[in-house]
Amino acid sequence: MSDLRDLYQQTIIDHTRRPRNFRPMPDADHHARGHNPLCGDRLELYLKLSGDRITEATFTGAGCAISTASASMMTEAVKGRTIAEAQLLFEKFRILLTTPIHENVSLDGLDKLEVFGGVREYPVRVKCATLAWHTLEAALKRDDHEAKTE
Amino acid sequence: MIEAPTAAGTQSAAPPVWNAADVRRDFPILHHVDRPVAYLDNAATSQKPDAVIAATTRYYKSANANIHRGVYRLSVEATDAFEAARTKVAAFIGAPDRDELIFTGGCTESINLVAMTWGLENLRKGERIILTQMEHHSNIVPWQLLAQRTGAVIEVVPISAAGELDIGAYQQLLTQKAALVAVTHISNVLGTINPIAVMSKMAHEHGAKILVDGAQSVPHMPVDVKQLGCDFFAFAGHKMCGPTGIGGLWAPRGILEAMPPYQGGGDMISTVEFAGSTWNKIPHKFEAGTPNIAGAIGLGAAVDYLSHLDMRQVAHIEAQLLAYAEKQLQTIPGLRFVGAAADKASVISFTLDGIHPHDIGTILDQEHVAIRTGHHCCQPLMDFYHIPATARASLAFYNTPADIDALVNGLRRVIEVFA
Ligand SMILES: Cc1ncc(COP(=O)(O)O)c(C=O)c1O
């Protein structure tokens, strides 16, 4: 069994308690809602784009520590990236969460997001960590439907 | 096994003649696994005693045959065991007539059966189906499906902040074309025990029928459908020490006989011709196809086991444990109880300030404490309290103060992690 600290790393606790970019953005270019029906977590994501580059990302909502910290850190991570770069980042993030640690995949570029590696040991919590990212995908598709983890 | 209680037949609970430590031996999962968990998710499903596991195994090992069809001895034995289980389960809930007990796949199926047979036959456009704010999704969605098909309208009895039904509002709703009331006996989130006998009487005064969701009551208190005065009573085997995939529906003979069949198939018919078929008598009319024979036999064994313990004793022991748990949990800073009904079963929902229930659940799991977190299939109830989820500890008679202590210590750990 892994240590709880592997899941609830200090960075995660810190982002849960003081989420960054935690505010609505009335003049957002893109907006989507995310919902995890299993736990009732809801979040709203707001994006501002310049060409295909994300210049601003904020969110609001209520969720567990993992989903809140993930949303907070995602908004920081995607800011300044192109849409393609953000999508690639999600791909790597997903691999980080779901692939056994010994399988040698390159996850370069995840940087701070690597603190979510502990989620791997808690399969039922993977959806908490990916909720914000699914919502990002929905927002980028200009999809006003709710992104769902189920 | 423990000694049978002696005070059978009296109303007040006799002093317990057994305690949790005695009965834990009957539950292999509580001591056979490497590191047993403090299992506090009994409202989701109960653990199974050896007697139930043995009864289902015995059926498969030495009596397996289909029922109601073979002339050979094995089939007769299987049929006898299945029907003996029906007699036991019917008696356990106080059914006046064993043929009034229909075996179903569970509480959910029992409710759907009523909606799709009695409901489709009897509900008219504009008539009201009265639910309550605290219903489980399985006592909401079947009625929504029925309302869509019939044009009936759903009304909801509100609750107080403490989680008790507003009986005045209920009275008011009954005066407006009420056709059916569907209410839970005990809330699986709040633990509230609803005043069913009174509600049945009120429903009948207004010509409405009443269905009671007994999923949480049959496992935790003596239940007598005659005293409840209801028209339909639904319950699940797996929450009362029985196997999964088996449950029951009770209704009086008159209602069952007037109801159209549920599913069509073998066993539920009397004669089949292409020009038309005739239905078997109750209860078989509602049991098409090969039923869950092993499940029914296992449920019969569960009922024997619980009867042996005496449900009054079960309720008494759980009430003591609930009092201890509430007292201990009050020492946790930031803990808020959700649900504070005067009449309450051993279900404790709570939140911790600033910590999401799922994080509580994950950390408690690490501490070998199993509780449920989420909306507990009661989203309208979560909306009422403006919360997305709760943490819920639900107790059974085999839980001990040590299980509660593990929960309380685990919660201190949760707070530590988030400090
Ligand atoms: C109050 C209540 N009603 C209905 C059900 C549904 O029971 P089952 O899932 O066994 O059909 C449950 C259990 O989840 C319950 O707690």
Residue B188 CB less than 6 A away from ligand 1? yes
Tokens representing residue B399 in the block: 């839980």
Q: Where are the domains of chain B?
A: 73-306, 311-418
DSSP annotation of A30: E
Q: Is B377 a catalytic residue?
A: yes
Whole-number pLDDT of residue A41: 84
Domain B311-418 in CATH: superfamily?
Aspartate Aminotransferase, domain 1 (3.90.1150.10)
Q: By the CB < 8 Å criterion, does A15 face chain B? A: no
Domain A2-143 has CATH 3.20.20.140: no
Mutate to test the pocket of ligand 1, among B45, B135, B188, B212 (most ligand atoms within 8 A of CB): B188
Per-residue pLDDT tens digits for B173-229: 999 999 999 999 999 999 999 999 999 999 999 999 999 999 999 999 999 999 999
State if residue B339 touches ligand 1 by the CB under 6 angstroms criterion. Answer: no
Q: Residue B247 CA: which ligand 1 atom is closest?
A: 10
Q: Does any CB of chain A come closer than 8 Å to the CB of residue B374?
A: yes
Q: Do A41 and B374 touch (CB under 8 A)?
A: no
CB contact under 8 A, A62 and B363: no
Q: What is the pLDDT along chain A (150 residues), one digit of tens a residue?
A: 456 667 898 999 999 999 999 999 999 999 999 998 777 788 999 999 999 999 999 999 989 999 999 999 999 999 999 999 999 999 999 999 988 765 666 678 888 999 999 898 888 899 999 999 999 999 998 655 567 665
Q: Which atom number of ligand 1 is nearest to the Cα of residue B187?
A: 1
**Domain residues of chain A, as ranges?**
2-143
Instruction: Give the whole-angstrom CA distance, residue A122 versus residue A67.
Output: 13
The CATH class that applies to domain B73-306 reads alpha beta
B107, B230, B377, B378: which one is catalytic?
B377
Helix (H) or strand (E) holding A54: strand A53-62
pTM of the predicted structure, to 2 decimals: 0.92
Q: Is B236 in the pocket of ligand 1 (CB under 6 A)?
A: yes
Is the C-beta atom of B107 inside 6 A of ligand 1? yes
